[in-house]
Amino acid sequence: MSATVLTEIVAPGVIQITMNRPERKNALDRASYVGLIEAFAAAEADPQSRVIVITGAGGCFTSGNDIRDFAAAAGDGARIAMDFLGAISTATKPIVAAVEGFAVGIGTTMLLHCDLAYAGAGATFRMPFVTLGLSPEGASSYLLPLVAGSKRAAELLMLGEAFGPQAAQEAGLVNAVVAEGAALDAALANAKALAALPPQSVALTKLLLKRGQAASVAETLVVEAKHFGERLRSDEAQAAFAAFLKR
Protein backbone atom coordinates (compact mmCIF):
# COMPACT_ATOMS: atom_id res chain seq x y z
CA MET A 1 0.00 0.00 0.00
CA SER A 2 1.23 3.48 -0.88
CA ALA A 3 2.40 5.65 2.04
CA THR A 4 0.26 8.46 0.67
CA VAL A 5 -2.90 6.36 1.03
CA LEU A 6 -3.63 4.55 4.29
CA THR A 7 -6.24 1.85 4.81
CA GLU A 8 -7.49 0.62 8.11
CA ILE A 9 -10.38 -1.48 9.39
CA VAL A 10 -11.93 0.97 11.86
CA ALA A 11 -15.03 -0.98 12.88
CA PRO A 12 -16.55 -4.32 11.92
CA GLY A 13 -17.19 -4.14 8.17
CA VAL A 14 -15.92 -0.55 7.85
CA ILE A 15 -12.70 0.18 5.96
CA GLN A 16 -11.28 3.69 6.13
CA ILE A 17 -9.19 5.01 3.25
CA THR A 18 -7.16 8.10 4.14
CA MET A 19 -5.43 10.36 1.61
CA ASN A 20 -2.19 11.01 3.41
CA ARG A 21 0.10 13.65 1.96
CA PRO A 22 -0.56 16.45 4.42
CA GLU A 23 2.55 18.45 3.49
CA ARG A 24 0.89 18.94 0.06
CA LYS A 25 -2.66 19.25 1.42
CA ASN A 26 -3.14 15.64 0.27
CA ALA A 27 -2.65 16.61 -3.40
CA LEU A 28 -3.12 13.46 -5.46
CA ASP A 29 0.02 12.52 -7.34
CA ARG A 30 0.43 9.37 -9.38
CA ALA A 31 1.39 7.25 -6.35
CA SER A 32 -1.67 8.48 -4.46
CA TYR A 33 -3.99 7.51 -7.33
CA VAL A 34 -2.36 4.06 -7.51
CA GLY A 35 -2.84 3.73 -3.75
CA LEU A 36 -6.49 4.78 -3.97
CA ILE A 37 -7.21 2.41 -6.86
CA GLU A 38 -5.58 -0.48 -4.95
CA ALA A 39 -7.43 0.41 -1.75
CA PHE A 40 -10.82 0.52 -3.48
CA ALA A 41 -10.09 -2.76 -5.30
CA ALA A 42 -9.07 -4.43 -2.02
CA ALA A 43 -12.19 -3.16 -0.24
CA GLU A 44 -14.40 -4.35 -3.09
CA ALA A 45 -12.75 -7.79 -3.09
CA ASP A 46 -12.84 -8.30 0.69
CA PRO A 47 -16.08 -9.99 1.78
CA GLN A 48 -15.51 -8.68 5.33
CA SER A 49 -15.56 -5.06 4.19
CA ARG A 50 -19.09 -3.68 3.80
CA VAL A 51 -18.65 0.10 3.76
CA ILE A 52 -15.80 2.34 2.60
CA VAL A 53 -15.05 5.64 4.37
CA ILE A 54 -12.83 8.09 2.51
CA THR A 55 -11.13 11.01 4.23
CA GLY A 56 -7.93 13.04 4.29
CA ALA A 57 -5.15 13.39 6.85
CA GLY A 58 -4.17 16.56 8.68
CA GLY A 59 -7.55 18.28 8.70
CA CYS A 60 -7.72 18.46 4.89
CA PHE A 61 -9.65 16.33 2.41
CA THR A 62 -7.55 16.91 -0.71
CA SER A 63 -6.27 19.87 -2.72
CA GLY A 64 -7.00 17.84 -5.85
CA ASN A 65 -4.67 16.64 -8.53
CA ASP A 66 -1.01 17.43 -7.95
CA ILE A 67 -0.34 20.52 -10.07
CA ARG A 68 3.22 19.34 -10.75
CA ASP A 69 1.82 16.24 -12.41
CA PHE A 70 -0.64 18.43 -14.32
CA ALA A 71 2.25 20.61 -15.49
CA ALA A 72 4.14 17.52 -16.72
CA ALA A 73 0.95 16.56 -18.64
CA ALA A 74 2.79 14.14 -20.86
CA GLY A 75 1.69 10.64 -21.77
CA ASP A 76 -0.82 9.17 -19.34
CA GLY A 77 -0.86 12.10 -16.91
CA ALA A 78 -4.66 12.17 -16.68
CA ARG A 79 -5.11 8.45 -17.31
CA ILE A 80 -4.47 7.39 -13.73
CA ALA A 81 -7.01 9.91 -12.39
CA MET A 82 -9.48 8.49 -14.91
CA ASP A 83 -8.81 4.97 -13.57
CA PHE A 84 -9.53 6.19 -10.03
CA LEU A 85 -12.76 7.87 -11.15
CA GLY A 86 -13.72 4.63 -12.89
CA ALA A 87 -13.15 2.74 -9.63
CA ILE A 88 -15.05 5.14 -7.38
CA SER A 89 -17.95 5.54 -9.83
CA THR A 90 -18.48 1.78 -10.21
CA ALA A 91 -17.84 0.67 -6.62
CA THR A 92 -20.58 -1.68 -5.45
CA LYS A 93 -20.09 -1.02 -1.74
CA PRO A 94 -21.35 2.18 -0.13
CA ILE A 95 -18.82 5.01 0.11
CA VAL A 96 -19.06 7.61 2.89
CA ALA A 97 -16.90 10.75 2.68
CA ALA A 98 -15.64 12.87 5.59
CA VAL A 99 -14.52 16.33 4.45
CA GLU A 100 -12.51 18.79 6.53
CA GLY A 101 -10.43 21.66 5.19
CA PHE A 102 -9.99 21.82 1.43
CA ALA A 103 -11.79 19.70 -1.14
CA VAL A 104 -10.52 21.07 -4.46
CA GLY A 105 -11.01 19.78 -8.00
CA ILE A 106 -11.36 16.02 -7.88
CA GLY A 107 -11.67 16.46 -4.11
CA THR A 108 -15.10 17.95 -4.80
CA THR A 109 -16.08 15.94 -7.86
CA MET A 110 -15.38 12.59 -6.19
CA LEU A 111 -18.16 13.46 -3.71
CA LEU A 112 -20.63 13.07 -6.58
CA HIS A 113 -19.74 9.35 -6.52
CA CYS A 114 -19.91 8.92 -2.75
CA ASP A 115 -23.22 7.70 -1.35
CA LEU A 116 -23.04 9.81 1.81
CA ALA A 117 -20.81 12.78 2.64
CA TYR A 118 -20.31 14.90 5.76
CA ALA A 119 -18.44 18.21 5.94
CA GLY A 120 -16.91 20.01 8.88
CA ALA A 121 -17.97 23.64 9.33
CA GLY A 122 -14.52 24.83 8.20
CA ALA A 123 -14.53 22.95 4.90
CA THR A 124 -13.89 24.78 1.61
CA PHE A 125 -14.89 23.37 -1.75
CA ARG A 126 -13.77 24.48 -5.17
CA MET A 127 -13.82 23.23 -8.76
CA PRO A 128 -11.31 25.60 -10.38
CA PHE A 129 -11.16 23.82 -13.72
CA VAL A 130 -11.88 26.88 -15.86
CA THR A 131 -9.64 29.06 -13.68
CA LEU A 132 -6.83 26.63 -14.48
CA GLY A 133 -7.59 26.55 -18.21
CA LEU A 134 -9.04 23.06 -17.87
CA SER A 135 -12.52 21.58 -18.22
CA PRO A 136 -14.82 19.59 -15.90
CA GLU A 137 -13.94 16.06 -14.88
CA GLY A 138 -15.33 13.32 -12.67
CA ALA A 139 -18.63 13.29 -14.63
CA SER A 140 -19.34 16.62 -12.90
CA SER A 141 -20.62 18.13 -16.15
CA TYR A 142 -23.41 15.53 -16.04
CA LEU A 143 -23.94 14.86 -12.33
CA LEU A 144 -23.63 18.37 -10.90
CA PRO A 145 -26.58 19.81 -12.89
CA LEU A 146 -28.60 16.80 -11.73
CA VAL A 147 -27.91 17.33 -8.02
CA ALA A 148 -27.42 21.11 -7.92
CA GLY A 149 -29.56 22.36 -10.81
CA SER A 150 -28.18 23.79 -14.04
CA LYS A 151 -27.71 27.41 -12.90
CA ARG A 152 -25.87 26.46 -9.72
CA ALA A 153 -23.76 23.92 -11.63
CA ALA A 154 -22.80 26.57 -14.19
CA GLU A 155 -21.87 28.97 -11.41
CA LEU A 156 -19.70 26.44 -9.59
CA LEU A 157 -18.06 24.96 -12.69
CA MET A 158 -17.68 28.08 -14.84
CA LEU A 159 -16.76 30.72 -12.25
CA GLY A 160 -14.80 28.14 -10.27
CA GLU A 161 -14.96 30.09 -7.01
CA ALA A 162 -14.53 28.59 -3.55
CA PHE A 163 -17.66 27.83 -1.54
CA GLY A 164 -18.41 26.74 1.98
CA PRO A 165 -20.06 23.66 3.46
CA GLN A 166 -23.57 25.17 3.59
CA ALA A 167 -23.39 25.90 -0.13
CA ALA A 168 -22.03 22.38 -0.69
CA GLN A 169 -25.03 20.97 1.16
CA GLU A 170 -27.43 23.17 -0.84
CA ALA A 171 -25.74 21.94 -4.03
CA GLY A 172 -26.29 18.32 -2.99
CA LEU A 173 -22.61 17.54 -2.54
CA VAL A 174 -22.83 16.67 1.17
CA ASN A 175 -25.59 15.32 3.40
CA ALA A 176 -24.87 17.47 6.42
CA VAL A 177 -22.56 20.08 7.89
CA VAL A 178 -21.19 19.19 11.31
CA ALA A 179 -18.86 20.97 13.71
CA GLU A 180 -15.33 21.55 12.49
CA GLY A 181 -13.35 18.37 13.15
CA ALA A 182 -16.46 16.20 13.51
CA ALA A 183 -16.89 15.06 9.87
CA LEU A 184 -15.07 11.76 10.38
CA ASP A 185 -17.15 10.91 13.46
CA ALA A 186 -20.33 11.62 11.49
CA ALA A 187 -19.11 9.54 8.54
CA LEU A 188 -18.07 6.65 10.80
CA ALA A 189 -21.37 6.67 12.69
CA ASN A 190 -23.30 6.35 9.44
CA ALA A 191 -20.82 3.85 7.99
CA LYS A 192 -21.27 1.64 11.07
CA ALA A 193 -25.05 1.92 10.73
CA LEU A 194 -24.79 0.87 7.07
CA ALA A 195 -22.42 -1.99 7.94
CA ALA A 196 -24.95 -3.35 10.41
CA LEU A 197 -27.70 -3.57 7.77
CA PRO A 198 -28.25 -6.61 5.52
CA PRO A 199 -25.33 -6.26 3.04
CA GLN A 200 -27.07 -7.72 0.00
CA SER A 201 -29.99 -5.35 0.47
CA VAL A 202 -27.62 -2.39 0.89
CA ALA A 203 -25.70 -3.39 -2.26
CA LEU A 204 -28.91 -3.84 -4.25
CA THR A 205 -30.19 -0.44 -3.11
CA LYS A 206 -26.94 1.20 -4.20
CA LEU A 207 -27.12 -0.58 -7.55
CA LEU A 208 -30.70 0.57 -8.11
CA LEU A 209 -29.90 4.15 -7.06
CA LYS A 210 -27.00 4.31 -9.54
CA ARG A 211 -28.52 2.24 -12.34
CA GLY A 212 -30.34 5.03 -14.15
CA GLN A 213 -27.20 7.16 -14.36
CA ALA A 214 -24.52 4.50 -14.83
CA ALA A 215 -24.28 4.52 -18.63
CA SER A 216 -24.32 8.33 -18.83
CA VAL A 217 -21.71 8.64 -16.07
CA ALA A 218 -19.40 6.18 -17.87
CA GLU A 219 -19.87 7.97 -21.19
CA THR A 220 -19.36 11.41 -19.63
CA LEU A 221 -16.14 10.30 -17.93
CA VAL A 222 -14.73 9.28 -21.33
CA VAL A 223 -15.80 12.46 -23.14
CA GLU A 224 -14.59 14.72 -20.32
CA ALA A 225 -11.24 12.89 -20.16
CA LYS A 226 -10.61 13.45 -23.87
CA HIS A 227 -11.15 17.20 -23.53
CA PHE A 228 -9.31 17.35 -20.20
CA GLY A 229 -6.24 15.62 -21.69
CA GLU A 230 -6.17 18.19 -24.51
CA ARG A 231 -6.69 21.09 -22.10
CA LEU A 232 -3.76 19.92 -19.93
CA ARG A 233 -1.41 20.59 -22.85
CA SER A 234 -3.01 23.95 -23.73
CA ASP A 235 -1.14 27.23 -23.31
CA GLU A 236 -3.92 28.48 -21.00
CA ALA A 237 -3.52 25.57 -18.60
CA GLN A 238 0.27 25.44 -18.70
CA ALA A 239 0.41 29.17 -17.87
CA ALA A 240 -1.95 28.63 -14.90
CA PHE A 241 0.13 25.70 -13.58
CA ALA A 242 3.36 27.70 -13.94
CA ALA A 243 1.78 30.60 -12.04
CA PHE A 244 0.77 28.28 -9.15
CA LEU A 245 4.17 26.62 -8.99
CA LYS A 246 6.00 30.00 -9.07
CA ARG A 247 4.03 31.49 -6.12
Under the rule (CB under 6 A), what is the footprint of ligand COA? 24-25, 27, 63-68, 102, 104-105, 128-129, 132
**Smaller CB distance to ligand COA: residue 51 or 139?**
139
Task: Find all residues with CB under 8 Å of 101, minimum gap 6, and list them.
Answer: 25, 56, 58, 59, 60, 61, 120, 122, 123, 124
Helix (H) or strand (E) run with residue 230 in it: helix 199-232
CB of 230 closer than 8 Å to CB of 237: no
Least Cβ distance, residue 83 to ligand COA (angstroms): 17
DSSP string, 209-229: HHHHHHHHHHHHHHHHHHHHH
**Smaller CB distance to ligand COA: residue 49 or 65?**
65
**Smaller CB distance to ligand COA: residue 28 or 91?**
28
CA dihedral for 156, 32, 242, 235, sign (positive or negative): negative
- Nearest residue by C-beta to ligand COA? 105
Least Cβ distance, residue 6 to ligand COA (angstroms): 19
* Angle in degrees, CA 207, 32, 126, rounded to 5: 70
Least Cβ distance, residue 241 to ligand COA (angstroms): 9
**Smaller CB distance to ligand COA: residue 129 or 142?**
129
DSSP SS3 for 78:
coil
Least Cβ distance, residue 68 to ligand COA (angstroms): 6
Least Cβ distance, residue 232 to ligand COA (angstroms): 10
For the chain, the helix, strand and coil percentages under 3-state DSSP, each to the nearest 5: 50, 15, 30
Least Cβ distance, residue 214 to ligand COA (angstroms): 25
Q: How many CA atoms lie within 13 A of 187 on its CB side?
A: 32
**Smaller CB distance to ligand COA: residue 67 or 217?**
67
**Smaller CB distance to ligand COA: residue 59 or 149?**
59
